[in-house]
């Protein structure tokens, strides 16, 4: 009961905190906070991530009376992410953002956009350290307001894309128990042709005339220990087709992120991370959505807090350390047996190939012997013909 009470308390506390927080590019499946792993979740496993994030900046404004006044801009967001294992190579996720600052007076949009996706992964030999996969994803504009300051571009249309996934694990059988490295490269089609970004202003392009197309990348690694995981990542974007000049968030960004994951229970992780922008603060937006001169278009820093819960299977709450060690020993035994079978099959195939090569060499020797015999017979025939002609009377 103590464990259940602790989990319930942390979950309620975290839901309370998410009403004053933010997240950009956060994922709740296997992998790092921003970089997805190529591995899918086990069939029937369901996890829930509750995540918050925030940043702030003091902005000074010069008044008509030549006085200065200052106020603080806080940007806060919150999201949930559900991830479910459908099979050996398939997983599904849904990530609704249920709170987001829109920086327009007292109005706050609640909820925000929702992402759904299908991961197809865990490809590669079971004994290999490398795994591959791809994720198909879509974004639905469940929020009312879009194209807002200090956030990645979003015109408010249903968008879709895909991401290529590669993962390396020092321990192939239990990849998250040893050093693991991940790389992602993705594409997103904003599907925004015809969307109006701002109010009509003479001389400014208000409507999207060409579909905005964006690329994403992420690279990171994790060093796990018994109670903590330590991760470092770099992630960002690039444009294949940039949005119009009146779009907010039309700049290129790149971030460095570091996180610490505390694992007090097998079914619960607590995540704290910090991020720092690597790219310059070059403003490219024109019009009313241009950020004030002292405020970055993408935040310089960001702090993230998250908690991940295993909801299914419920047996995870009852499994002892002894059961886990016995299961792991059995899994390793099965892996070693598979490696031995594969090696024997490889050796058998190599022996068969060598036999084929030897038969080919024998056939070549037989053909050479036959060629010599035929050449000898031809030479004998020519000698006999010459002798016959010499014996005949003139």
Residues 119 and 234 in one domain: yes
Please tell me the pTM assigned to this model: 0.77
Q: In terms of domains, do 300 and 359 share one?
A: no
pLDDT tens for the 394 residues of the chain, in order: 444 444 444 443 343 333 333 333 688 899 999 999 999 999 999 999 999 888 888 777 766 666 667 777 778 888 899 999 999 999 999 999 877 776 665 555 556 789 999 999 999 987 789 999 999 999 998 877 788 888 889 888 999 999 999 999 998 888 888 999 999 999 999 999 999 888 777 678 888 999 999 999 999 999 999 899 999 999 999 999 999 998 988 999 999 999 999 999 989 999 999 999 999 888 888 888 888 777 888 889 999 999 999 999 988 888 766 666 666 666 666 666 666 676 666 666 677 677 677 767 767 777 777 777 777 777 777 766 776 676 666 5
Domain check: are 155 and 29 in the same one?
A: yes
Q: Residue-wise over 217-255: b if at least 16 C-beta within 10 A, else e?
A: bbbbbbebeeeebebbbebbbeeeebbbbbbbbbbebeb
Domain CATH code at residue 60: 2.40.160.40
Shared domain for 85 and 220, answered yes or no, is: yes
Task: Look at phi and psi of residue 192 and say left if phi exceeds 0, alpha if psi is from -120 to 50, else beta.
Answer: alpha
Residue count of the chain, please give it. Answer: 394
Tell me: do 376 and 284 sit in the same domain: no
Which of 254, 286, 319 is the last residue before a domain boundary?
319
Q: Are residues 12 and 112 in the same domain?
A: yes
Domain boundary among 280, 298, 319: 319
Task: Let me know whether 121 and 22 are in one domain.
Answer: yes
Q: Same structural domain for residues 312 and 329?
A: no
From 319, 353, 372, the end of a domain falls on 319
Q: What is the total count of domains within the chain?
A: 2
Based on the fold, state whether residues 312 and 344 are members of the same structural domain: no
- Phi, psi of 254, rounded to the nearest 5 degrees: -150, 135
Residues 394 and 299 in one domain: no
215 and 340: one domain? no
Domain that holds residue 77: 2-319
- Residue 162 and residue 95 share a domain: yes
């Amino acid at each position: 009961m103590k464990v259940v009470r602790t989990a319930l308390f942390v979950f309620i506390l975290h839901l309370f905190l998410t009403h004053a927080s933010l997240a950009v590019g956060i994922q709740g499946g296997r992998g790092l906070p921003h970089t997805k792993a190529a591995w899918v979740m086990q069939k029937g496993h369901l996890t829930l991530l509750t995540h918050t994030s925030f940043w702030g900046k003091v902005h000074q404004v010069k008044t008509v009376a030549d006085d200065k006044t200052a106020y603080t801009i806080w940007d806060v967001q919150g999201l949930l992410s559900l991830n479910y294992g459908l099979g050996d190579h398939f997983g599904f996720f849904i990530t609704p953002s249920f709170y987001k600052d829109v920086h327009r007076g007292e109005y706050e949009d609640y909820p925000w956009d929702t992402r759904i996706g299908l991961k197809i992964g865990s490809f590669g030999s079971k004994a290999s350290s490398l795994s591959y996969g791809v994720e198909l994803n879509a974004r639905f504009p469940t929020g009312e307001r879009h194209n807002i300051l200090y956030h990645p571009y979003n015109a408010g249309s249903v968008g879709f894309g895909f991401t290529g996934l590669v993962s390396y694990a020092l321990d192939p059988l239990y990849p998250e128990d040893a050093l693991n490295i991940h790389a992602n490269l993705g594409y997103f089609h904003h599907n925004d042709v015809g969307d109006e970004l701002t109010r009509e202003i003479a001389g400014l392009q208000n409507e999207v005339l060409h579909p905005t197309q964006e690329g994403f990348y992420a690279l990171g690694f994790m060093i796990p220990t018994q109670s903590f995981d330590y991760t470092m990542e770099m992630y960002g974007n690039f444009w294949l087709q940039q949005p119009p000049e009146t779009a907010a968030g039309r700049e290129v960004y790149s971030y460095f992120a570091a996180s610490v994951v505390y694992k007090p229970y097998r079914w619960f992780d607590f995540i704290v991370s910090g991020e720092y922008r690597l790219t310059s603060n070059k403003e490219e937006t024109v019009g009313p959505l241009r950020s004030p001169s002292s405020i970055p278009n993408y935040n310089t820093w960001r702090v993230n807090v998250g908690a991940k819960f295993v909801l299914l299977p419920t047996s995870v709450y009852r499994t002892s350390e002894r059961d886990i060690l016995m299961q792991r020993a059995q899994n390793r035994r099965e892996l070693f047996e598979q490696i031995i079978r594969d090696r024997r099959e490889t050796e058998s195939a190599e022996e068969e190939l060598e036999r084929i090569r030897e038969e080919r060499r024998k056939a070549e020797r037989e053909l050479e012997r036959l060629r010599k015999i035929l050449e000898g017979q031809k030479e004998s025939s020519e000698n006999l013909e010459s002798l016959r002609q010499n014996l005949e009377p003139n």
